[in-house]
Amino acid sequence: MITSRKVKSIVEEITPEAQNIRRHLHKYPELSDLEEETASYIEAKLRMIGLDSLETNVGGHGIIGTIKGTRSENFRRLAIRADIDALPIQETCDLPYKSIHTGVMHACGHDGHTSVLLGTAAALAKLRAEFSGEVRLLFQPAEETVGGAVRMCAGGAMEGVDAVVALHGWPGMAPGRIGVRSGAMMASSDTFDIIIKGAGCHAAMPHKGIDPIVVGSMIVQALQNISSRECSPTDSVVVSVTCFNAGTAYNIIPGSAELKGTVRCLTAENRKDLPIKIERIATGICEAMRAELVFKYHLGIGMTINDQGTTDLVRVVGAEYLGAENVIELDEPSMGAEDFAAYMEYAPGTMFRLGVGVNTTNLHTPAYNFGDEAVAPGIEMFAGIALKFLNEGPE
């Protein structure tokens, strides 16, 4: 069995190149579903490494690569996912590799995720004799707009996969540390539209119309009762109205108002019940106030629920490669969402956090930088997880 020391020395050799790759990706970021150059760059790097198979244009600009081990004990397949897209934000940092694309930057650190997975590919290609089964590398487009993961799955990304893992660079955590959690990790994210049709009139004669702004305000208020009075106090539920559009002038009561909002939760039961509760409240208020309701609910992305066995494996690998003191147990899930959840509908898996720096600014902000220091620990983790999973399986 290969030692972690040997793997670490291979990772050390590869790291400078992986760091350069990250800087290149950082300099040339591309928005969701426009990752054409990014995909060609990844493809070129993978061809240089030499994979057992390579598929491009999966679900858009996605890439699926395969590395087969040459041992033949038992065949299992592990998928590892990295997202490749950037965000519509103007970078403010003065890095030598600052984004040259105006208004676009890697503010979520997907440059880091991609370079870590490319580094992992390079490491595992050198370690073929050390594992059986295969590693499937998933380079996913359009994570930020949510949709890339589902399309990758439709393109066969998860066919025959026994487990799937991913990481997300995490500000506020030192490089060389990881954050793990079994069970609920990230929330589901669904959206709704509420259109209130009232009757417009002169603002000085409100009794001649039906004021959709007043009705809308009641709905906004009432929806807040869902998490506080209709869900268990121990459940995490967010129902937020995030847009309220109505009216054009000081002296006109408009004919309609439009609300938009987001719904987040951590259990399948809440996810099923929440649209029913929201519609019931909106319908009841509209009826009482003589307004008409148009209600639309859009299922977005499901919860990211980390599998116990796969997460335990990440804990063991983390302790082995980074030290037990650097494996941080996360005490709460995030109410943010990740389209990584889509892969977990096909196989158990886990997503963990990778420290990128204690003083790093937050994700999705104009000064965010994944940085160079997290690259090697990321590769060590992915390579270590692959070797352990394929040779031993989950603990």
The residues binding Zn ion (CB under 5 A) are 108
Nearest to Zn ion of 108, 374 (CB atom): 108
Q: How far is the CB of 242 from Zn ion (least distance, A)?
A: 17
Nearer to Zn ion, 108 or 231 (CB): 108
Of the two residues 108 and 281, which places its CB atom closer to Zn ion in the complex?
Answer: 108
Q: Min. distance of Cβ 163 from Zn ion in angstroms?
A: 21
The distance of closest approach from Cβ of residue 122 to Zn ion in the complex, given in angstroms and rounded to an integer, is: 23
Contacts 24+ apart (CB under 8 A), 239-246: 239/263, 239/274, 239/278, 244/216, 244/220, 246/212, 246/213, 246/216
* Smallest distance from Zn ion to CB 127, Å: 28
Q: Which long-range contacts (CB under 8 A, 24 or more apart) does 42-51 make?
A: 42/84, 42/114, 42/118, 42/139, 45/21, 45/118, 46/118, 46/121, 46/137, 49/118, 49/121, 49/122, 49/125, 50/125, 51/121, 51/125, 51/137
Q: Which is nearer to Zn ion, 83 or 211 (CB)?
A: 83
Q: How far is CA 316 from the centre of its chain?
A: 24
Shortest distance (Å) from residue 336 CB to Zn ion: 8
Nearer to Zn ion, 236 or 334 (CB): 334
Q: Which residue has the tokens 């980074």?
A: 322
Q: Cβ of residue 85: shortest distance to Zn ion, in angstroms?
A: 9
Rg (CA), the chain: 24
User: Cβ 168 to Zn ion, closest distance in Å?
Assistant: 6
Residue whose CB is less far from Zn ion, 49 or 108: 108
- Measured CA to CA, the distance from residue 306 to residue 75 in angstroms comes to 23
Number of CB atoms found within 10 A of residue 103's CB: 12
Residue nearest to Zn ion (CB): 108
Tokens of 214: 């007043």
- Cα separation, 71 vs 119, in Å, equals 22
- Strand duo 256-265 + 237-246: pairing: antiparallel
Nearest to Zn ion of 108, 354 (CB atom): 108
Listed residue (142, 173, 206, 208) closest to 326, CA to CA: 173
